[in-house]
Amino acid sequence: MPDSIARFTLDPAFTVGEVNARLFGSFVEHLGRCVYTGIHEPGHPAADEAGLRTDVLELIRELGVTVIRYPGGNFVSGYRWEDSVGPVGERPRRLDLAWRSTETNRFGLSEFIAFLKKIGPHAEPMMAVNLGTRGVADAVRLLEYANHPAGTELSDRRVAHGDEEPFGIRLWCLGNEMDGPWQTGHKTAEEYGRLAAETARAMRQIDGGLELVACGSSSQAMPTFAAWEATVLTEAYDLVDHVSLHAYYEEVDGDRDSFLASAVDMESFIENVVATCDHVGARLKSKKRIQLSFDEWNVWYQRRFQAEAEENPLDWPEAPRLLEDQYSVTDAVVFGSLLIALLRHADRVTVACLAQLVNVIAPIMTEPGGPAWRQTTFYPFAQASRYGRGVVLDVRAESPTYRTAAYGEVPLLHATAVRDPQSGTVTVFAVNRDRSRPLPLRVALPGLDVSRIVEHSVLSDADPDARNTLAEPDRVVPHAGHGARLDAGTLDVALEPLSWNVIRLAPDA
């Protein structure tokens, strides 16, 4: 094989697992302008009767989000859920220690559930409980308020607040990033493991059918990584269903080659957490298998934010402009590669949440009183959510490599493929990490009854730093690829330099 060609084989007999729809989740936190002037802006020309921006709702539907985590994030560790229910005019204003802002509580739990219903029936809530400054009693009270039909003080309070039907929240996070010293109420692994187990046990006394997520490590770089998971799961293994992973990536000191290989770290993180979970399960002699909830992931320029926060500390403003990264073509290619990493581990990653949804490190941006638009990262997510449903095929590619400072030799090709068993359609998702040259790709398709190329969509640009902005909201959009051929069960295509590619193959019409 010439060194310049990448190739792999797709065979329906060799699969990773079925994609859980929850893999295409997102995250709404009371941080910056995610909620206020993001999804909720009464008085905006596009606002509905509830103050929700209908232009944003339309984009969220197009994005294809399936589950939304709420209300945080670091915010949840100071969250008093009682503040967010009842008559809006009677809700208190609170200091938010996590983001040094003032929370008005104009948008709360009931508004969040109503927001999800307007997205569509596929949008599911993922609720986090406060295990930072509160604990077991608060979690069960929130659960009773949200999910119990009626006939108790808390459930009747919900009914009196105008929500006769229970919210029916099935998926719950037991706190957030409790391994992080930045977290209000930070705990050791032993302290958190015990608290998570007791909270899970109490919540299950109300409803044994809940799905519970224990806090894992905030990144693979944490000094307590793996030991944290092992300690927490030793306490809570039989009481929880998922362990969380969080990871953010950014270009550091101009090292773009390493940045483009960020998914190497993400895949390593997933595989190491799987190994830790399975080791604890084996040690406990449990037949249960813990799944992974990658409920925060994205490209995020954290160093830039930290420098700005140190230079100009906030003085408790309402909905300040925070973490409003503008994403480039390069960022979108890395972002697409992270999506590929999640799909390649669909057998164990059954929940994932892009952090966040609007304005805050988000695929959707808004201007107060003005328009909403798609960032470059919008497109890979929307395409993966739309076409990445079905069974992930096992992709073991041979590819030319390049050298990175952070990860050593890395393949130029990063790819996966998903087959829809009903239609027989196969979608190949592929990234070319080469910044200057096209990458020829050959895919053998034995046993797959596909005979035509439906589409080859490419996200790339001559300017790798091109962005979509308020002034130019459509500067970067996907375009049609050229030259792909499907002949005698073999796909040949040239992937443009620094590109995200979606290639859809189908049987005869």
What CATH number has the domain bearing residue 76?
3.20.20.80
Q: Rounded to a whole number, what is the distance in angstroms from the first to the last CA of the chain?
A: 34
Burial of 347 (0-12, 13-18, 19+ CB in 10 A): middle
- Provide the 8-state DSSP code for 467: B
Could you tell me if 381 and 474 lie in one domain? Answer: no
Pairwise CA distance, residues 235 & 280, whole Å = 10
- Radius of gyration in angstroms for the set of CA atoms belonging to the chain, rounded to a whole number: 23
Kindly tell me if the per-residue pLDDT of 509 is higher than 90.
no
Q: Above 70 in pLDDT, residue 326?
A: yes
Q: How many CA atoms lie within 13 A of 318 on its CB side?
A: 10
Transcribe 369-429 into DSSP letters: TS-EEE-TTHHHHHHHHHH--SEEE----B--EEEETTTEEEESEEEEEEE-TTT--EEEE
Domain termination residue (choose one: 360, 387, 414):
387
Query: Nearest-CA neighbor of 211 among 235, 233, 243, 242?
Result: 242
CA distances from 86 to 83, 90, 149 (A): 8, 7, 17
| CA-to-CA dists, residue 109 to 81, 164, 199, 339, angstroms | 8, 14, 20, 29
Does residue 88 share a domain with residue 103?
yes
Asked if 475 and 352 sit in the same domain, the reply is: no
CATH of residue 470's domain is: 2.60.40.1180
Question: Which residues constitute the domain of residue 121?
Answer: 20-387
Answer yes or no: do 254 and 327 share one domain. yes
At residue 1, does pLDDT exceed 60? Answer: no
Residues 305, 354 within the same domain: yes
Q: Do 241 and 124 lie in a common domain?
A: yes
Contacts of 51 (CB under 8 A, 6+ apart): 40, 41, 42, 43, 107
Of 350, 372, 387, which closes a domain?
387
* Residue 106 covered by a domain: yes
pLDDT at 308: 87
Number of domains in the chain: 2
- 1 assigned to some structural domain: no
Q: Give the residue, 304 or 161, on which the prediction is more confident.
A: 161
Beta bridge partners of 27: 69, 355
Q: What is the DSSP letter of 238?
A: G
| Active site (catalytic) residues | 177, 296
Give φ, ψ of 404 to 5 degrees: -125, 150
CA 354 to chain centroid, in Å, comes to: 2
Q: Give the phi and the psi of residue 35 in degrees, each rounded to 5.
A: -90, -65
Average pLDDT of span 485-507:
97
Which of 353, 387, 421 terminates a domain? The answer is 387
- From the list 311, 224, 220, 320, the residue with the least C-alpha distance to 272 is 220
> pLDDT value at position 307?
87
One domain, residues 91 and 117: yes
Residue 438 lies in a domain: yes
Using 50, 70 and 90 to split pLDDT, how confident is the model at 2?
A: very low
**In the prediction, which pLDDT does 199 show?**
98
Statement to judge: residues 469 and 408 lie in one domain: yes
pLDDT at 3: 63
428 and 334 assigned to the same domain: no
pLDDT at 508: 85
Do 265 and 412 share a domain, yes or no? no
Count of beta carbons in the 10 Å neighbourhood of residue 88: 15
DSSP 13-75: TSEEEEPPGGGGEEE--SSTTSTBTTTB-TTSTTB-TTSBBHHHHHHHHHHT--EEEES-SGG
pLDDT at position 417 over 60: yes
Q: Is 190 domain-assigned?
A: yes
**In Å, how far from its chain's centre is CA 455?**
26
What is the percent of the chain with per-residue pLDDT over 70, rounded to a whole number? 99
Exposure string (b/e) for 459-488, b if CB count within 10 Å is 16 or more? Answer: bbbeebebbbeeeeeeebebeebeebebee
Q: Is residue 35 part of a domain?
A: yes
Give the closest residue to 176 by CA, choosing from 163, 166, 165, 187.
Answer: 187
Is the model's pLDDT at 304 over the cut of 60? yes
Same structural domain, 355 and 480: no
Asked if residue 115 is part of any domain, the answer here is yes
Q: Please tell me the number of Cα atoms within 13 Å of 167 on its side-chain side.
A: 28
Kindly report which listed range (232-246, 300-314, 442-456) carries the lowest average pLDDT score: 300-314
Residues 362-370 have a mean pLDDT of: 98
| C-beta separation of 393 from 10 below 8 A | yes
Question: What's the Cα-to-Cα distance from 114 to each of 57, 120, 124, 181, rounded to whole Å?
Answer: 12, 10, 11, 34
> Bridge partners of 401?
411
Is residue 427, in this structure, part of any structural domain at all? yes
Confidence of residue 359 (pLDDT cuts 50, 70, 90): very high
Q: Exposed/middle/buried for 416, CB within 10 Å: 0-12, 13-18, 19+?
A: buried
- Any domain includes 289: yes
pLDDT, averaged across the chain: 97
Q: How many helices (H) and strands (E) does the chain have?
A: 11, 25
| pLDDT tens, position by position, 64-120 | 999 999 999 999 999 999 999 999 999 999 999 999 999 999 999 999 999 999 999
Residues 432, 372: one domain? no
